[in-house]
Amino acid sequence: MKLLIITRYTKSFASSRYRAYQIGRYFQDNVSVKIIPLMDPGEKNRVKKKIIYLKNFISSRFRIIFSNTIYFHKARFSNWEMKLLKFFGKTIILSIDDLPSQKFINFNCNSVDVVLCGSKYIERMFQKNGFVTKLWVTTFSKKYIRKNNNSFKLNIPPVIAWIGSVGGGRNISKIVSSLDDIYKNQKIELRVITKKIFLKKYPSNLLNKSYFVFKEWELEKEWDYFDGIDILIMPLDNSPESKGKSGFKILQAMARGVPCVCSRTEANELLIKDGYNGFVCNSISEWGEKLKKLLDDKNLRKKFVSNSYDKIKNEGLIFEDKIKEIEKFFKILN
């Protein structure tokens, strides 16, 4: 198999890192692998950004000639190019872990052999449109799992954290009243770890809170951020975009010994069982109650962390457990 992986962004984006580059590194010992990111959003110089895109645009078209399997992650070619790939017998795999538009789905309908879906919600969307699909939740190598060796004592003040991109402001603001109620009786820090550019989209009622602390997200520190966190939160609304999320940050927290409180979505409930290895919330009032309970109970935090480690191990939620299945799947396609 000669595998060409074309990803929309560089490995500075989590989905590219774990759904494209990670696969490429695994296969490169056995097959010919080439990874080409079409864009580098980290490049601030507009001229350089366009040059990078043009270079990778040409390179990706050239490499296709020598590849029999094309793996697109959040990327695509023009309609006629995709049809041409099928005409020449190329195997086309599409990897998606964020909610796609109906236009994107329709565009790929007649050219993609299989879609690797990051959540059950996304999988159902593609299935309704006649695609062959396979559920593949984004995951990571076992090397990132690290047992929590502290005594489960809280930081002073306790750190409740959210990690992500632009959608965080909208979703966190929905539980601000619960955070306010906790803050009246106990000092807390709401640590938002994101890119500074995303703060422009955050509502002022959140940014102006005395307990709000911003921390710039950097690729090199991706896993280190979990070390200083007492509780990870993942509030989500009921929008299709939220339903399409894969719960990747929750899985990262589980691997680093950080208890989680999240909204009830299908993907979150695949990872968190309410009261067993975390809390799942249905309402604003539940957010306040469950966060307070977790802050007050060291043994509960310890239980959630221990059960999360067990869940990762027993349910095969790491990359090494999943990749054998994907490898076998690739062989069948070819």
The residue with tokens 């090494």 is: 320
The answer to whether the Cα torsion of 53, 55, 61, 66 is positive or negative is negative
The residue with tokens 């991706």 is: 222
- Position 70 scores a pLDDT of 93
Q: In the chain, what is the straight-line distance between the N-terminal and C-terminal CA atoms, in Å?
A: 7
- Any idea where the domains of the chain sit in the sequence? 2-141+318-333, 143-314
CA dist., res. 64 & res. 189, Å (int): 50
Q: Do domains 2-141+318-333 and 143-314 have the same CATH topology?
A: yes
Of 141, 134, 131, nearest to 119 (Cα)? 134
Give the amino acid at 221. K
> Which two structure tokens, joined as six digits, stand for 91?
């195997």
The answer to whether the Cα torsion of 324, 14, 99, 275 is positive or negative is positive
> Which two structure tokens, joined as six digits, stand for 209?
């809170």
The residue with tokens 């703060």 is: 199
- Residue 32, beta-bridge partner list: 2
- Cα angle 27-90-105, degrees, rounded to a multiple of 5: 95
> Which two structure tokens, joined as six digits, stand for 315?
């349910």
CATH superfamily of 143-314: Glycogen Phosphorylase B; (3.40.50.2000)
Interacting residues of 43 by C-beta distance below 8 A, sequence separation 6+: 49, 52
Give the residue ranges of DSSP H helices in the chain: 14-16, 22-27, 46-64, 79-87, 102-108, 120-128, 168-172, 176-185, 204-207, 240-243, 248-255, 266-271, 284-296, 298-314, 319-333
Give the amino acid at 292. K
- Position 16 scores a pLDDT of 87
Q: What is the pLDDT along the chain (334 residues), one digit of tens a residue?
A: 789 999 998 887 778 889 888 888 888 777 889 999 998 877 778 899 899 999 999 999 999 999 999 999 988 888 888 888 888 899 999 999 888 888 888 776 678 889 999 999 999 999 999 998 988 888 999 999 987 666 788 999 999 999 988 777 888 998 999 999 999 999 999 999 998 888 888 998 899 999 999 999 988 999 999 988 999 999 998 888 888 888 999 999 999 999 999 999 999 999 999 999 999 999 999 999 999 999 999 999 999 999 999 999 999 889 988 887 777 777 777 6
- Position 293 scores a pLDDT of 97
Give the amino acid at 137. V
Contact 173, 284 (CB under 8 A): no
Question: What's the CATH code, domain 2-141+318-333?
Answer: 3.40.50.2000
